[in-house]
Amino acid sequence: MKYFKRFNAIDLLLLSYVIVTFCFIFVFYQRILDANLHLLFRVAFMVLIFSLPLFDKFLKIPIAQFFRIAYPLIFISFFYSETDAFNNVFFQNLDYHFARFDSILFGFQPSLAFYNSFPYKWFSELMNFSYFSYYFLIAIFSIYIFINDKSSFVKIIFYITCSFLIYYITFIIIPVSGPQYFFEPPHNQIPDSGIFRWLVKWVEMIGERPTAAFPSSHVGIVLILIIIALPKYLKTWYWLVPFFILLSLSTVYVKAHYAIDVIGGIISAPVVLWLSKNLFILFKKKNLKTAYATIDC
């Protein structure tokens, strides 16, 4: 038990997620593809997390301090892709219902009509650039906080990591793959238009899976960054907001999401952040090293 006192809140958060999903895989073992491999990954993650406090006294340079706290963000895409293996345990894909809801709500399919209304190469590149920028926004925001407000770094990385994991649990419970997987070709595709379209397709090839459409974590996470940025980090707020608007549009344009997924991302973001903040407070009440672990705050 004494050893747990050496963990920071982020270590405990990731360890909790790994243990909970380990139990989930174990209980539904027969219904999960490559269950043994997923269990093995979790054992490896547990070894990693338990090893981290042993190296804390050697963290002298800023880049090592940064990655000691922000390391879960390196594995976020891995945990995302895993939801594809877990998300049909309770229900089969619900895309039909979400696509139908879009049709009822708007009178047409936004994910199909949006591209058809703006098939221009320059607009397609703008949308692909906006969608691709998501993968850098979190890193840039995290680095900005580390440089400018180190005392809040652990807390904010906790909020971001916890928000991702809450969304991943939601994706496991609510399996929706998105228009690019639900609709038949060529309706699920948009033509190549330039370098950013190629980059988006490359990301989809190496990491995208038929999972995680509702609610849109792309939209939700960036909105969470915006909420965190107000009122303390206005410099980041000024460039996050335009990216948020373009990103929200691009998720529908590139057919990664239904319009209802974007709405779900907007509505869910304050709730997910509230849950993350309360989990952070819960760890603090347990007298664990949450706010002042590892780095000199």
Beta-carbon neighbour count of residue 189 at 10 Å? 15
Separation between Cα atoms, residue 98 and residue 93, nearest integer Å: 10
In this prediction, residue 264 carries a pLDDT of 97
The beta-carbon contacts of 243-249 under 8 Å, at least 24 apart in sequence, are 243/130, 243/133, 243/137, 244/219, 246/126, 246/127, 246/130, 246/133, 247/130, 247/131, 247/133, 247/134, 247/218, 247/219, 247/222, 248/216, 248/219, 249/114, 249/127, 249/130
In this prediction, residue 58 carries a pLDDT of 80
Burial of 94 (0-12, 13-18, 19+ CB in 10 A): middle
Burial of 81 (0-12, 13-18, 19+ CB in 10 A): middle
Beta-carbon neighbour count of residue 63 at 10 Å? 9
Residue 162, token pair as written in the block:
């916890």
In this prediction, residue 238 carries a pLDDT of 86
Answer whether 160's CB lies under 8 Å from 221's CB.
Answer: yes
In this prediction, residue 28 carries a pLDDT of 96
In this prediction, residue 16 carries a pLDDT of 94
In this prediction, residue 24 carries a pLDDT of 97
Per-residue pLDDT reduced to its tens digit, 109-125: 999 999 899 999 999 99
In this prediction, residue 210 carries a pLDDT of 83
Consecutive 10-residue runs of the chain (297 residues): their mean pLDDT? 77 95 96 95 96 85 93 94 92 94 95 92 93 91 94 95 97 94 85 82 76 94 95 86 95 95 98 96 64 42
In this prediction, residue 274 carries a pLDDT of 97
- Tally the C-alpha atoms within 13 A of residue 276's C-alpha that lie toward its C-beta: 27
In this prediction, residue 72 carries a pLDDT of 96
